[in-house]
Structure 1
Amino acid sequence: MKVTIAYIEEPPFGWTEPDSTPTGADIDLADAVLRAIGVARIEHHPTSFSELLPGVEAGRWDMNVPLFVTRERPNMVAFSVPVWGIADGFLVRTGNPKALDSYVSLAKRADARLGIIAGQVQHDSAKASGVSEDQIVVFEHQADAVEAVLSGAVDAYASTALGNRIIANRIGGSMLEAIEHEPGTNGKQQKPPLGAFSFNRSNSDLIQAVNKALRSYLGSPDHRARMAEFGLTNNEIDPALAGRVQDGRRPGLVLNRAWM
């Protein structure tokens, strides 16, 4: 059985190595879970963020790497159980010249410009906190938004705090700095939003099998160790486990071929 999973270039969640091999925290998690349910062949399909939901909804591939679960998105696709919870943050030039530490702080600076990837939840979060459309510059790819910060075309790039931290570390502290938004500084957002895999709504067998494997595996020592290799810590993992019904068993993947 083959499953095709779409991903985007967004370290540490997913990216393509120079030898064309896909890697990243979300890809690693997907591979572990799909192997556990008996998938013999996994294909990875690079795409843009704006194509993730329309693509899986149209059946061009079987599932997407995790993205934030919003109120509107379940009208298009079916989501798995949550796999991480991550707050927003900014990527700015080192020294943070305009002292931007939240959407609210940026909204107060009429001369500040914010870079956002088309279709991502940060657009709505920024607007809900008072950032005007005139202050927002939309990009199709993360690399273009990062370059805009470096060149000064925008003052901040809004994404996950974790992802921005990874980018800043890779590029070097002499050029870019990751700024985490303090809890409670962005309007009503108090808890980190949750992310999950998404599927075509008619693909119930795959959804159920993936969910069963995720419930067994998430939070296990192996899961935490593998995610730590990509920079994900308990701070990102534990919010997805909150409220999960425990059955008393120790988490861990068990091969389950029921889906086959």
Structure 2
Amino acid sequence: MAPTRDFREEHGNDRRRQPQGRPAGQRSIGRRSLLVGGAALGAAGALGVAGCSKVPTGDTLARLKSQGIVRMGIAGEAPYGFIDDRGNFTGEAVELAKIIFKRLGIGKVQPVATDFSSLIPGLNSQQFDVVSAGMYINKERCSQVIFADPEYQMLDSFIVPKGNPKKLHSYQDIKRTGAKMATGTGYAEIGYAVAAGIPEKSLVILQDPVAGLNAVESGRVDVFAGTALTGREVVRKSTRAEATAPFAPLVNGKKKIDGGGFAFRSLDAELRDAFNVEIHKMKKSGELFRVLKPFGFTESEMTTLTAEELCR
């Protein structure tokens, strides 16, 4: 079930989305999405079916138990939820959902792939029962949905030439050296760079981490900024680039650590709370890490952060 390690071969169409509720041209501190093209292509039909009928209101947990199936919105993202080379839905969120919902008495998880920007609107319009796409928990999203406590936390990392000749380990280093920085469309790293005093107009915005790796290897840019998970995976087979050590960006003088989790409709607190009980059991036993590890997560990315903390 582990995803392939060669991002260039398997994730050539990967890119990050704009956060929900914002026009496509408006940038803000968002969350990265690694889009696998096959999942997105399969989304239209599945989403159309899901959107044809309204989900009845009431006790959602009891209803889902009765139906025996939960519809989960995903964004076709590796390593969170994607279609593997056998045509099966998998990913850390998909596999985690299968375990937890089964323990809640719901035997089947039906992943429904759609664009990242459509996930929260789709959840609130009752096209899905839950959303999980490695979505960062932040104040803006917490005003629209409720989150389970995060299953992981994430730091940043840079893709740089072998040997890191400019010694880039933070956004402040990029500012100090005048290094040419690239990142992805809608990436949180845009905001982190601007917070460090790097002019937004100087940033090179690329389609995805693979394009970032190619730009670094060719010398078109000095550094590509993304998540630590993406960085270490995308350079795995490169002989000309490496990923820097993970670090927490500074925003307004404070270290910024992001966390991602499952989102639920605001009226479904009972379902969210039941989900939280199970995910905390898995954290305590170590089972959560065992589920996430095959998808590239490390022990340092396990977290004790809560949704309440991140929503602030």
CA distance in 1, matches of 2:122, 2:210: 22
CA distance in 2, matches of 1:56, 1:153: 40
Give 1:188's aligned residue.
253
Bigger Cα displacement from structure 2, 132-141 vs 143-152: 143-152
* One of 153, 158, 165 as aligned partner of 2:225: 158
Letter in 2 for 1:33: I
Letter in 1 for 2:170: S
* One of 85, 89, 104 as aligned partner of 2:157: 89
User: Cα offset for 1:237?
Assistant: 1.0
Distance 1:175 1:34, change over 3 A: farther
* One of 176, 182, 195 as aligned partner of 1:114: 182
Instruction: Deviation per CA, 1:168-197: give whole Å up to 9, x if none.
Output: 22xx13143111344576663436322221
Q: Secondary structure at the match of 2:128?
A: coil
User: Cα offset for 1:146?
Assistant: 4.8
Letter in 2 for 1:57: N
Q: Secondary structure at the match of 2:284?
A: coil
CA distance in 2, matches of 1:177, 1:233: 18
Number of aligned residues: 241
CA distance in 1, matches of 2:92, 2:174: 30
> Which protein has greater RCO, CA pairs closer than 8 Å, 6+ apart?
1
CA distance in 2, matches of 1:140, 1:4: 29
Q: Secondary structure at the match of 1:180?
A: coil
Give 1:23's aligned residue.
90
5+ residue gaps, structure 1? 245-260
Q: Secondary structure at the match of 2:112?
A: strand
TM-score (norm 2): 0.65
Between Structure 1 and Structure 2, the one with more strand by share is 1
Letter in 2 for 1:179: T
5+ residue gaps, structure 2? 1-67
Instruction: Deviation per CA, 1:133-189: give whole Å up to 9, x if none.
Output: 1133445655555555455554433222123212222xx131431113445766634
Q: Secondary structure at the match of 1:240?
A: coil
Mapped contact 2:72–2:111 kept (Cα < 8 A) = yes
Mapped contact 1:9–1:142 kept (Cα < 8 A) = no
CA distance in 1, matches of 2:211, 2:272: 34
Mapped contact 1:115–1:139 kept (Cα < 8 A) = yes
Mapped contact 2:157–2:244 kept (Cα < 8 A) = yes
TM-score (norm 1): 0.76
Root-mean-square deviation (CA), in Å? 3.1
Is 1:68 the counterpart of 2:136? The answer is yes
Distance 1:88 1:51, change over 3 A: farther
